[in-house]
Amino acid sequence: MTDPDPTPARDVIFGAQQERIQQRLDRLDTDLGAYIRDFAYDTVYDRPGLDLKSKELIACALLVSLGSPPELRTHIRGAMNAGATEAEVRGALLMCVPYLGFPRTVAAFEVLRQHLGRADAPAP
């Protein structure tokens, strides 16, 4: 049975940071902020087919490919908010090596290390 009132993906992904993130986007451009909220999150992320954790792990890999550390940080947090373990996030990032190379993947692991708040973040 489908939950009649599921939690919107952006509520899970952004958690307590949602208002701050939306304000940041709206300061850049209110239309842009609305497009991202309404299309990316309320339409694409909320559609069926994949669970939110899988969507967020894919988003992390795609953001590594784009070289977008601020957005990667948001989606690493989102993946973990959606139930991904540190090991699963590490696995998604490691899948980037053969396709994107070591420099982008190393940069992604630095974002993960910062997110975890550790001086050293060895594999679990």
CATH code for the domain of 87: 1.20.1290.10
Say yes or no: 81 and 122 in one domain.
yes
Say yes or no: 40 and 65 in one domain.
no
Mean pLDDT of 11-20: 92
**pTM for this prediction:** 0.86
Residue 47 burial class via C-beta count within 10 angstroms: exposed 0-12, middle 13-18, buried 19 and up: exposed
Say yes or no: 20 and 42 in one domain.
yes
Write down the pLDDT at residue 5.
Answer: 52
**What pLDDT, in 10s, does the model give residues 23-34?**
999 999 999 999
**What pLDDT, in 10s, does the model give residues 54-107?**
999 999 999 999 999 999 999 999 999 999 999 999 999 999 999 999 999 999
Kindly state the tokens that stand for 43.
């339409």
